[in-house]
Each structure stands twice: as C-alpha cells, then as structure tokens.
Structure 1
Amino acid sequence: MWLDHPNFEKAIEKWWYIDIKGIAMYRMAKYLRYIKVNIKKWNKEVFGDLFAAKSKTQLELEEMQDKIQTSGYNEVSINEENEVLVKYHKIIKREEEFWKQRSRSLWLKVGGRNTRFFHMTAMKHKATNKISKLRIGGIETRKDDEIGNEAKNFFISLLSTDCGFDVYSQRALLETIHLIINDVQNKALVAIPSEDKVKKAVFSFDCNKALGPDGFLLFFF
C-alpha cells in the first residue's frame, strides 16, 4: 500500500542517501535500520491507524446513507457518497494487503477481499510458530525471554562448535575424499556473483515470505 503513495519513493531516497561511514555491510545494516524507524513514523503520519480509519469511514458511510434515505438522492449527496465509497474501498484494499502479508498466503495473489481468511491464516501461523513452553535444565519455563535466550544459545553453540581437528588432520581427511569438481567448476562456484545474478536470485523469491532478520519483507527490496 506504501507504493501507491506518490511520495513514498522520494521519502526512501531521502532516507537512503545519508552519510554513513564504514564497510559496505555495516552501512547497509545502518541504512535499513534508519529507514525502518522512519517508515514507521511516516506510515503513522500518512496512513494513521488502519482499523480506526476503517471504523470511522464505515460510520461516515452509514450516516451518509441515512441522510440519503431521509432527504433523497440529489447531485450533491451522490458526489458525497461516492467520495466516501472511494475512501472506504482504498482502506479495504489496504486491510487486505495487511492481512495478506501477515498470513503469507501464496495461492491467492490478487482480488477477493478475503480479510477473514487472511486474518485466520495469520493467527494460525502465529500459534503454530510460537514455542509456548520449553524445558531448560530439567525446569519448564513459559517466559518468552528465557525461551528466546535458550534458542539463541543453542544455535550459537551448535554452529560454533570446534570439530576438534588440527590443520594437518583436516588436510589428511580431505585427501581421502574423491574429487568430483574440476578446477573450472570450482572457480565458478567460488567466484563473486554478478549484480544481475544477485538481483535474479532475490527477485525469484516470493515477495510475501517471512521477514528477514532486518524486519523487511522481500517485497521491500
């Protein structure tokens, strides 16, 4: 829904071209963090509370239709009703996109205001993915911070465990493995990919998949 706003891309350009020093990955992380903070502020200022806006517009529409029932149709009332209807349909479209992203449903791409379906799917994802309790050192806990820390520590330990081989042992082990990749293939595998290949890989993913560690959907990129 942000892309429908005429000033969104200009706002992104303004936030992106700030002066940040450091290596490329550090600057990238800082840019994204800075943009994320500003997008939240911008979204609140421009779009406001989506669900409050929907309720307010529904009330406006009901009042308008009551007025028409009492006074009858005329050119002024028709124009006023159309303005409210246009605003209401825009909000409904934004609501559908909101729940569609939350539900991460892949089979329904466009159309059909299935906000109830998207809402139920999002709630199901949340319930399925949530670890409500965990046994740590023989003691069961339901505290989110303790569960989160245990999960983080588990993977840090798993992914940083030393295999126990010294350099010579590793080399001796590798020498026993039959080579199936030639030098040309190896150079292709370890070569730095071109910008076109990176772009093709990123754009091949579904844009509404789960958030990355930076909190952005692929759709943003």
Structure 2
Amino acid sequence: MVKEEWRGLGDIQFTDKLKALTTPLGRWHKANFGGMDNKITKFEEEIKRIDDMVSNSGYDETLEARRKVLVSCCERWYVRKEVHWKQISRSRHAKEMDKNTRYFHNIASARRRNNRIDILVINGRQVKNQARIKIAIREFYKDLYHQEASPMMGFRDGLVGKIDEGDALSLEELPSAEEIREAIWDCESSKAPGCDGYNMNFIKRC
C-alpha cells in the first residue's frame, strides 16, 4: 500500500510526500486495526464457548485444533493492542510536552546552572566576581588564538592551521546514499526524528 501510494504522489518533495501519505495510512490503519477491543472480545467469547463445549461433552480433536487457532489469533491482537497504546502514549506525551513551556524553561534553567562558573583560580587566587571571571576567560582565549606559530606544532598560520583545498572540498561534499543509510540504521527503531509520527522503523521498512 505504501509503495502504491508513494508512486501515485508523483515528483513532489520528500517531506510533502510524507504529509500526503498520512491520509491513506489513516484509512489503512482503521481498516486493519480498527475495533481491536471488539475483535479481542469475540475471540475470547469463542474460546470460552469451546471450553464450555469440551467440559460438557469431553475432548474433541477438531474443537481443540479450533481453540489453538483462536488463541493464536487472540494473542496476535493482544500484541497489536499493546504496540498501538505504546505509540499513542508516546504521541500524547510529545504533544503535552510541546504545550508545557514550563518544562522547557526548567530544563534551560538547569542547563544554565550547570554551565555557570562560580569560582575561577586566576594567577593562584580564587576569584568569585562574575565580571572578573568573564574578562579572565575572554583574555585567556584571546591570547591562546594569537600565539606565535611553532615549528614543533606544524601549523602554518599561527596556532590554528588551514586545511588544504582537497580537504576543504571533501567537507562540502553531499553524503552518499550509503552514508545516509548507515546513519539511519544506527538510529533506534522506535524513535521518531520529528513530530510527524513516522518512526525510524517505518523509514527502515518502507
């Protein structure tokens, strides 16, 4: 279904295709996974009915075979339901977190606290004044990046050397299809890179 719908969308941007694909995927999901609770209930009722028949009339090979098939089907739907609610809970959690700006403010505040330098030793003395600490750090890096070139270090233009033209061009090259594939396959399958609901398992499979 995904292949057919994808081809039918023609030559439009990849992200637009993903957006357009959500509608047929929604229909497919409803047709194949809709009414899960009703299906599970029917299987359970049928299994109970067979159990009652066997308890009243004794062992029946045909009924036992039928029961095994029903139990197998029921178990598959249990797994589908579990996966379904797992995905739904993740989706809801992501949406609620998007709305919860206080959560993100707290994260940012914690990061600021962790990155804050309260005390710095300058010339053997402990300094707590924030203005002096900022000046000392700025002067340190200003001096560091203006050091004279050293033959021992092998740099040409001061402390920070220049890469050659070949290396510069290689940094600007587009990644190959194999490199992209390798990066995607390194990702955990249940994670979604964006809020569109497509997880890495879908991208790997389809």
Deviation at 1:98, TM superposition (A): 3.1
Deviation at 1:73, TM superposition (A): 1.8
Counterpart secondary structure, 1:220: helix
- Tell me what 1:14 maps to: 4
Deviation at 1:218, TM superposition (A): 0.8
Count of aligned residue pairs for this structure pair:
149
Residue type at the aligned position of 1:208: S
Q: Once the two structures are superposed, what CA deviation does each residue of 1:86-141 show, in whole Å capped at 9, x if it has no partner?
A: 211211232343355557xxxxxxxxxxxxxxxxxx59x93996367658xxxxxx
Relative contact order higher in (CA < 8 Å, ≥ 6 apart): 1
Provide closer, same or farther for how the CA distance between residues 181 and 200 of structure 1 changes in structure 2, counting only shifts above 3 A: same
- Tell me what 2:18 maps to: 32
Residue type at the aligned position of 2:30: K
CA RMSD in angstroms, aligned pairs only? 3.4
Given the alignment of the two structures, is residue 183 of structure 1 paired with residue 169 of structure 2, yes or no? no
- Unaligned segments of structure 1, at least 5 residues: 1-10, 104-121, 136-175
- Tell me what 1:213 maps to: 195
- Give the Cα–Cα distance (whole angstroms) in 2 for the partners of residues 85 and 209 of structure 1: 31
Matches within 5 A, 1:33-52: 33-52=19-38
- Tell me what 1:98 maps to: 84
- Tell me what 1:82 maps to: 68
- Give the Cα–Cα distance (whole angstroms) in 1 for the partners of residues 172 and 163 of structure 2: 12
Provide closer, same or farther for how the CA distance between residues 85 and 19 of structure 1 changes in structure 2, counting only shifts above 3 A: closer
Kept in 1: contact 2:9–2:17 (CA 8 A): no
Q: Once the two structures are superposed, what CA deviation does each residue of 1:126-171 show, in whole Å capped at 9, x if it has no partner?
A: 3996367658xxxxxxxxxxxxxxxxxxxxxxxxxxxxxxxxxxxx
Q: Is the deviation greater in 37-46 or in 66-75?
A: 66-75
- Unaligned segments of structure 2, at least 5 residues: 103-157
| TM-score, L = length of structure 1 | 0.55
- Tell me what 1:69 maps to: 55
Report % sequence identity.
Answer: 22
Deviation at 1:191, TM superposition (A): 0.6
- Tell me what 1:203 maps to: 185
| TM-score, L = length of structure 2 | 0.59
